Structure 1
Amino acid sequence: MKNINQVIKQLALMLALCMVVFSCTDKLEENDGQLAADDLDFTNSEDMVLPLIGGYSAVYSRGWEDPLLIGVRGDDVNAGGLGDQPQFADTDLFIYDNGFWMYNQIWENFYGDIVRIISSRETIQSYKDFAVEEDDLDRADQYMAECKVLSGFTHFQMSRLWGDIFIIESSNISAELENGVKTKAEVMQYISDLMDEAIPFLLDARPNERQDVSGGVTKYTALAIKALANLELENYQAVADVTGEIINSGKFNLYPDYYQLFKKPGERSNENLFELQFSDYGTESGAANNHLYAPFGPSSWTPAVEGASSGWGFYEPSLKFIKFMLDRGETTRLSTSVNFTPRGIDEITSDPEYATLPSFVTNVSEDGDVFNDYSRAIFSSGKHYLPSTQLTPGRTDYGSGKNFIVIRYAEILLMYAEALTQGANGTAGTADQAVNEVRARVGMSALSNVTLDDVMDEKFAELAMEWGVRYFDMIRLNKYDELSYEGRTFTAEDEYLPYPQAQLDLLPLE
């Protein structure tokens, strides 16, 4: 079986494959099941991995705007100012313009991904139709189940942004659109059920244990997505059951070094249940598959490795978050999450209550990169920062080769604790134990008799700037006062983005 490292360089081929799947399927039907010479050879089961990699490439090739828009409305993040994207900054203030290009681009990004994933799944089914060996049949079922997980993740992100959306289950797109949009609750239930369909066929392993598709999704990725969907449904017993199953598996643990978790040493660690894979292949030039991290980075720095590129300054940890962390006595998580500038430090100390800061608050990272003042922001995200010393020699792009963590075990533990504080029964220990496992990793003292507020504070500290977790927690719990900060006013009408005007003009949206 081909390893992902052998086929990942064929991503361009994968894109082409996803585009021709429908025509290949049509030709197969037209020729009464006989493949013409220029068609895919569905009898060659070894190539079954190729459409699967096509599905992964759809999810991995995220636009830079996707994670920024998903996360920017939380009170943990501010949009960088004085830039060329004023409507992005307005979104951070809950001022929405449905003509903003970014809304439409993300809508198209995610739905384009869903179509490509479904295309991959249907192509794998065609390989299965010609398969004879039991191993090939089982592998086809596994690969199609993986596509269901990828589709579930993509639907999940869209519904959190827009609420009511289309569910796309097949390549008959016109029929799917005719079904109309489904409510957010219906979408989340669909995702939960889809994970149930997939789980029996998925590997009972951590993603980093996979030998065929390194870091690919497994049973536990599906369980995690099911837990997230049920959290949105406020079905807390289901959340406790599913996260409890992950915990009781004994397969996952917290990476010991919180700082390095978000750098190259933490890639494909035992903590990561879902992680977007990128690489520059350890070569100084040539092919590379990178996420564009520049929007997260500082637009002025003095890197330890001369020539390393700076960022754009579009994504800034909030002053509220920083003061919250200082008040808690956080060290490791604060210094990991926030890259400070001199101007940012001055802004903190201008408040008499924070006039004296601990020595770890500095504009120099532990790897020797210096963060200078720049106009758009006074802080940048440390979780999206790759030290210049970890760049492959010859590669200068900000964050080149860095993976993008999506779901990790710390979030599973805290969702389990949250469910228990909401009245659910647990089989994987107490809420205290789950929360304290997360706290112990970063040297925070143990708590007892934790409450829902304690868990929310822990999620704020642990998961800030990660995929909008904080924002979606706050709207789910109707904690609008938390989002009304630094001059903002948040109301229930601000929970979801408006449908993009370009889609209103094209689709039967209501």
Structure 2
Amino acid sequence: MKKYISALPVIILLAFAAGCNNDFMERVPPDKINDANFWKKPSDLKSYANQFYPSLIDANTFWRADNQSDNQCPSSLDGFIWGQYVVPSSGGGWAKSDWAQIRSCNYFLKQYRSVEGNPDEINTYVAEIYFFKAFFYYQKLRQFGDVPWLNDVLQINSEALMAPRDSRKIVADSIAFYLDKAAGYLPDTSPEGRITRYAALALKSRVCLFEGTYRKYRDLGDHEKMLQASAAAALDVMSSSKFGVYTTGDAGSDYYNLFIAENLANNPEAIMVRTYATDKLMHNLNRILSEPQTGFSKDFAESYLCKDGKPIAVSPLYKGDAKFSDEFINRDPRMLQTIYTADRPILVTAAGEARYQEVPEFNNQRCNTGYRIVKFYSPKERDLEQGRSVKPVFVFRYSEVLLNYAEALAELNSCTQAVLDESVNLLRARVGMPKLKTEVGYTDPSWPKWEAAVSPLINEIRRERRVELAAEGFRFDDIRRWKAGVLLENVKTYSGARDPQTNAYRALYPGNIRSWKNKLYLYPIPSIELTLNPQIRQNPEW
């Protein structure tokens, strides 16, 4: 008898987006599978699942997500965080195409039971679809909050088409449930680089931390169970002994080298990576970073601690910023491995000639802030060929799991010194920084002015997260979940380095003053959807 993964219990009443119109309900899934000759063997399930893998990360763009935050400042201001975004009439992340991947996952879950073969192999691919459905729904949760949770492949006469949205709690709990089911059937390792049990747990630690803190800082209730689930998922990964923090003992280079590695197959930090192959699948990240049209903000640059483990406002080691090079003296070594300085080659030719760039550079095509992104950037001429890079990129990195673990427990008032030593302090050890103590030992007058006050320990864990995960696309989600949008009103979050010509910080968007509005924690529902289904209500303040 075959043993299959059970479907989600009927404790969640499912609804679908009102914007799914008749032509969407009638169309064949994008894979254009003929049910008469498909769904026969496990390899069919594998082929179907393959379509979702490119959605996990785009090497060319993932780092640009931090342009929508206080970390990076694009040459043209981001219209959303600057309050210029208006309610779209259609589309806006709610179009039928935006729901197609979730529909395709549900289509799989309806069809796969006809497949004959090894039950374990079948269950592995079913678990992959559970993972992807959770992954796609997490995107919807972050963007819209309440969304319809769908299990069925709806038809044009389905009553659920006219139902209201499900609450974010139902959606988040369902995502966590699906990831648990996925983790229960996925393999511990995958020679092919497919989703594993630990990738599912890493995603669960991320999702539950997001939702736990989102609930906590808005008094929505039930935040403790989400934070506990985040910590438990992270600990499961940590306890496997399969992963670790990459280090060779070179505190001045290891962090930088991690992100320009030619191969991550045996890197202990790689929970999951996306690999590339010459002339088969390549990307353009390195070339794009040579002209990124963005740069780190002054506020971000000031967030790095000094080598004594103290912030620049209280450390005697800080040399000030009268000269650009002074800022980097005696600072956390990750600063020099993340932000470009003139002693690092900007280009190494095929003949071995090294070329350098004067700093601070204020160039809208390359770096408008003076703080140029060097993380992920290789100066080798061959790596700068247009669209020819095959360097792998992380999908899930062990360091994030460690940070999730420490933060979740700190938010639960359960973060001990032992917790810090097995998480945050491993990251600090890689770069030779002093340990973080549960009793921080100082008050930083430059700690962010959070809307909801936090402890010194949480302040420092958040700082560690900001520094370690810089340019990895996490920052705006962190601002959302902490209810910290007011941070974007700080003029240093949209200022650059000190300009030697004026002795003032570089003003990036002259004449503009950023004012945060709480509606920006969520995107609006397109207006046509509200017309088509009166039971759908617009997100607050839109």
**C-alpha contact 1:104 1:503 (8 A) present in aligned 2:** no
Corresponding residue of 1:93? 82
Deviation at 1:185, TM superposition (A): 2.6
Q: Structure 2 vs 1, CA of residues 66 and 47 (structure 1 numbering), >3 Å: closer, same or farther?
A: same
Residue aligned with 2:295, SS: strand
Q: Which amino acid in the other structure matches residue 229 of structure 2?
A: A
Residue aligned with 2:394, SS: strand
**C-alpha contact 1:244 1:426 (8 A) present in aligned 2:** no
**C-alpha contact 1:254 1:270 (8 A) present in aligned 2:** yes
Q: Tell me which of 157, 165, 184 is aligned to 2:147.
A: 165
The 2-side partners of 1:19 and 1:148 are apart by: 18
Flag the structure with larger Rg.
2
The 1-side partners of 2:533 and 2:63 are apart by: 25
The 2-side partners of 1:428 and 1:144 are apart by: 40
Q: Is 1:52–2:49 an aligned residue pair? A: yes
- Give 1:71-470 correspondences, 5 Å limit: 71-81=66-76, 89-99=78-88, 104=92, 110-123=98-111, 125=112, 128-131=113-116, 133=117, 136-172=118-154, 175=158, 177-205=161-189, 210-211=190-191, 214-234=192-212, 235-256=226-247, 257-265=254-262, 267-268=264-265, 269-275=267-273, 277-279=274-276, 281-283=277-279, 288-291=280-283, 293=285, 297-299=289-291, 313=293, 315-325=294-304, 327-329=305-307, 352=322, 356-358=326-328, 362-363=341-342, 365-366=344-345, 368=347, 374-376=363-365, 377-378=367-368, 379-389=371-381, 391=383, 396-398=385-387, 400-423=389-412, 425=414, 429-449=418-438, 451-467=457-473, 469-470=474-475
Q: Structure 2 vs 1, CA of residues 505 and 100 (structure 1 numbering), >3 Å: closer, same or farther?
A: closer
Deviation at 1:502, TM superposition (A): 6.3
Q: Is 1:474–2:453 an aligned residue pair? A: no
The two structures have a TM-score, normalised by structure 1, of 0.71
Q: Which amino acid in the other structure matches residue 519 of structure 2?
A: E
**C-alpha contact 2:73 2:295 (8 A) present in aligned 1:** yes
**C-alpha contact 1:165 1:183 (8 A) present in aligned 2:** yes
Deviation at 1:216, TM superposition (A): 1.6
Q: Which amino acid in the other structure matches residue 478 of structure 1?
A: K
Deviation at 1:413, TM superposition (A): 0.8
The 2-side partners of 1:375 and 1:448 are apart by: 41
Corresponding residue of 1:308? none
**C-alpha contact 1:420 1:431 (8 A) present in aligned 2:** no
The 1-side partners of 2:59 and 2:99 are apart by: 13
Corresponding residue of 1:496? 522
Q: Is 1:20–2:32 an aligned residue pair? A: yes
Deviation at 1:329, TM superposition (A): 4.6
Please list the CA deviations of residues 238-289 of structure 1 after superposition, one character each: whole Å capped at 9, or x if unmatched. Answer: 22222111111111112223212222435343313343x252x224xxxx43
The 2-side partners of 1:217 and 1:260 are apart by: 25
Q: Structure 2 vs 1, CA of residues 320 and 367 (structure 1 numbering), >3 Å: closer, same or farther?
A: same
Deviation at 1:429, TM superposition (A): 4.2
The 1-side partners of 2:377 and 2:525 are apart by: 32
Aligned CA-pair RMSD: 3.7
Deviation at 1:388, TM superposition (A): 4.1
**C-alpha contact 2:235 2:405 (8 A) present in aligned 1:** yes
The number of residues matched between the two structures is 418
Q: Structure 2 vs 1, CA of residues 261 and 66 (structure 1 numbering), >3 Å: closer, same or farther?
A: closer
Deviation at 1:435, TM superposition (A): 1.1
The 2-side partners of 1:116 and 1:448 are apart by: 48
**C-alpha contact 1:104 1:502 (8 A) present in aligned 2:** no
Residue aligned with 2:347, SS: coil
Q: Which has the higher contact order (CA 8 A, sep 6+)?
A: 2
**C-alpha contact 1:166 1:177 (8 A) present in aligned 2:** no
Residue range with higher mean Cα deviation, 258-267 or 214-223: 258-267
Residue aligned with 1:407, SS: strand
The 1-side partners of 2:98 and 2:417 are apart by: 35
Q: Which amino acid in the other structure matches residue 265 of structure 1?
A: E
The 1-side partners of 2:490 and 2:380 are apart by: 34
Q: Which amino acid in the other structure matches residue 479 of structure 1?
A: A
Q: Which amino acid in the other structure matches residue 322 of structure 1?
A: A
Q: Structure 2 vs 1, CA of residues 502 and 323 (structure 1 numbering), >3 Å: closer, same or farther?
A: farther
Higher helix share: 1
